[in-house]
Amino acid sequence: MATPHIEAKENDFAKTVLMPGDPLRAKFIAEKYIDDARLVNNVRGVQGYTGTYKGKEISVMASGMGMPSMGIYSYELYRFYNVDNIIRIGSAGGIADELELRDIVIAMGCSTNSNYAAQYNVPGMLAPLADHTLLSKAVLVCGEKNIDVKVGNIFTSDVFYNDDAEFNLKLKRLGILAVEMETAALYFNAARLSKRALSICTISDHVIKGGELSAKDRQDTFTEMMEIALETAYMM
């Protein structure tokens, strides 16, 4: 069952899909962690793989950058490929003072400046949330691995270069942990389609304190986050 963006056949995807933003990170995960991984999608170079992890079928596919890209791929996986769970594993810019490079944040909720939810024609502002089952299992995995994870509200931005110099400080005052560009679309799609979603992010830079990791580091060294997601997927 091909879509305009995914060439995979029916049943090519597992019930749980890990979604990094970067196609090369998807390839890295497939090669390092997934047994018998086979390429099931490569339209526009957005690579998707399916194989097994500890004997359980798992898929990994890139989402690309930004809400429109995440919105398309997650919707098609949920709607046309019968995927039940999507776990985003991405990078984020730290905002909270207590966050350092390589810290892990799990998005319990996600605020946004996007107009994505306008399509639902609901008055006021919808609050997209993580699935509690996925969230609770991920936190359990972190406890078992003795990983100090931060759980809370993040912000999905439609812009990377913001003309408002005070923007990130305003988010900090409201208790936002980190900023990224995909989670809100994933959480909205999951809610609308009665599916499950979770976003796990590694801090790749700090937008207030400064400091950043290289593109190579973001591609190949966020293994702690990847392993949390894989163990969470294994428990589903």
* pLDDT for position 3: 86
Better pLDDT: 90 or 3: 90
Give the Cβ contact number of residue 161 at 10 Å. Answer: 4
204-214 per-position pLDDT tens digit: 999 999 998 88
152 assigned to some structural domain: yes
The CATH number for 137's domain is 3.40.50.1580
1 assigned to some structural domain: no
Entry pTM: 0.95
Residue 155 is given by DSSP the state E
Residue 180: phi and psi, rounded to 5, are -150, -165
* Residue 151 lies in domain: 16-234
Give the Cβ contact number of residue 163 at 10 Å. Answer: 6
11 assigned to some structural domain: no
5 assigned to some structural domain: no
Residues annotated catalytic, as ranges: 205
Q: Residues of 8-20 as b/e, b for ≥16 C-beta within 10 angstroms?
A: beeebbbbbbbbb
Total number of domains in the chain: 1
Quote the CA–CA distance of 232 and 125 in Å, as a whole number: 30
4 assigned to some structural domain: no
Quote the CA–CA distance of 181 and 202 in Å, as a whole number: 13
Stretch 154-180: mean pLDDT = 95
198 assigned to some structural domain: yes
* pLDDT for position 45: 83
pLDDT band at 82 (very low <50, low <70, confident <90, very high): very high
pLDDT band at 1 (very low <50, low <70, confident <90, very high): low
78 assigned to some structural domain: yes
220: pLDDT strictly greater than 80 = no
